[in-house]
Structure 1
Amino acid sequence: MQHFDIIIIGGGAAGFFTAINAAELNPKLKIAILERGKEVLTKVKVSGGGRCNVTHAEFLPKELSTNYPRGEKELLGPFHSFMTVETMQWFEERGIELKIEEDGRIFPVSDDSQSIIDCFLLETERLNIQVLKSHAVQNFQQEEGLWQIKTSKGDISAKKMMLATGSNPKMWNLLKNLGHRIIEPVPSLFTFNIKDERIKDLAGIATEAEVKINSKKVNLESKGPLLITHWGMSGPGILKLSAWGARDLEKLNYQFEIKVDWLPGKTSEEILSQLKDLKTKFAKQQVLKNAQFDLPKRLWRNLIVAAGITDGTTWADLNKNQLQNLSSQLTEGIFKVDRKSTFKEEFVTAGGVDLKEVNFKTFESKFHKNLFLAGEILNIDAITGGFNFQNAWTGGFLAAKAMSED
């Protein structure tokens, strides 16, 4: 039987970050990462469209924590110890140059997630951390102060053990056997499937919008870029709603209505007034060919048609009813959502180990000494933009600090 000081189950972002930091803090420790698959860091590879969105340019703990529908309160303290600044410094000290994009997302300058993977692999090699692939964990239990871990390639023991296995049902079930409560997982980041003539053939168009869930049971709204896709709607404005409404929308079986305001910041009355001004100003021009409010031309055209305005109609021809309809289409269009789609390759869930059962100063289980948990195995998830990785780095660092102490 192999014995280690620290065993980390899960060869993903949180697992590698924990192992590397623990080894740096205490070089005497014998550390291994167990990965059930043939490859490690597979989620890092595909994240951010293959560019790896390592974190987000939010530098106040309180503000950073508000991006977590589940985990906001619990992460506030940890963020005072390790957050965006420390993450950026950590990578840059290891030769990974980072850049902040306009929307606040932070990527490696290389625009290639492989540079992050290579960094982790080089560090594990430098620090003599063993990476044991194709080691599927079948069971674990604590006996006489040691964790006994049964794997597909033999038994292993360790003084301290971390689970960083993401949303893996088998690991959750093993934790249930140890007395932990698991909050049932539901999808968190997803796009809305919508079939509607107003957005038909507009895939790729993006514009700022305000979106509200049009349901008595769910009171949620979000403002931000909205992306029209082949299947419906996506983009930060939609993904925020999917994250904050993860549980409520699951209860609705992902069938509900949304109200879209394509001109956020102005009331329908103000827009109606502006449309009346345009009727005078552009009297002889055709409405369909005269896009307004900086809206994409094709979207403008579809909204005009939806308002009952035909091709060839001039602004002067518009009657009171058509102006009212157009104002409504621009500021309060109702769209029917029928099911959801995964957001790119990034599948994020709401659910996992009950946060009341974890000490967030160390990310140690309150039930079992020397059992640590980090990343998406916990009931923590975030909106899109690098926040889920920041949770992994923060939890990994604080757990490493605690685990590296003799």
Structure 2
Amino acid sequence: MSWQKSKSWAAIYFTFLMLISTSATAVETTVLSESTTLPLKFMYYAKSTKLAGPGLILIDPITNTTLYDEASTIPRAPASVFKLISSFSTLKYVGSDFRFKTKISKTAVTNTYVLDGDMDPWLTSDIKLAKANEQRYLPSLISKANKSKAKSITIEHTGVFTKDLENLAKYLKVRDIKVKFRELTPAAAAARATEEIGALQSVPVSQMVTFSILWSDNQLADRLARAAARVKYGASDQVALQNTFVAALSEYGINVIGLNAIDGSGLSRDNKVSVRTIAEVLIQIRKDPLFAPIYEGLPVSGKTGTLKNRFITTAPHAVGLVHAKTGFINTTVSLAGYVTVGSEEYIFAVIADKLEPKWVARNRARETIDAMLGTIARPATP
């Protein structure tokens, strides 16, 4: 490869890396491939203090060779990279073609309606979002039901998120319509409804997953993950979420040691996963067409989504060559996905979770990760 260095210089640099790891508890860095020599600059950036001792792994999936490994099995707070696992679980248990339905019906009582849904994660009361993202517009159901424009109505509901009801109430208040909500069980809702007035059907789950990955939509990712938990275990609490993620990954033989799920978005610092587990998920995503919506949603370096403004100055020749999920919370910056290296596509995962809780520290970590990937990224040979 054009970026190969002499074995002597590689040996000198690797010896240097081992010498600086003087602590008995220091994490060993391993370059496992004998056939592939990584650029010295790759290792320089990987060991940069700006990453503060990250978990890092680089794999050639074709040969199943680990090219670089640093603390890859230590569970860390992954930030939004965790969405790879939640989306993986969603597609596994909910399915890419599934569409959520929300309907409104009359009751025997005037101006009282039953709103019956199956927890559509992408309902909105914002017309701009509805038009931009193909989200279903909840107020449209109220308009169909309340044709008399009554100034006081009652909505008996089941299977609708509380936040979506709150947003609906705000929408109605602006229009001088008072609304009273009453929650029902699914059985009671079915019994109370006398005539269906209108219904909304969501876009396919695959489209939601792609959007969530591209723009790192926290609410959508978490709601989808909990939908998977309801399908798998009939519950959507933290325990069900944890068990759902473990079950989904375990079915594919993916290492789940140390995996801890608090939410489906990655916002909690108590979420934990190793970069080794993330890498194994990435391998499976490329193997199985079921998970194609995840790959399709991955931001592209310098081009789309949350990577649109990255790599442009830090590694300009890598623009368009990295497809990866970004992530950050207070002391974590993460990136995981795929980097084009000539005719090959390597898999990588980086979680730097010991950073100072400052924007400057996080930005330096991002720049370092981008520069590191830039040392190996190159377009496919014609």
Query: Scaled by the length of structure 1, what TM-score is found?
Result: 0.24
Query: Scaled by the length of structure 2, what TM-score is found?
Result: 0.25
- Greater C-alpha Rg: 1
Richer in strand (by share) = 1
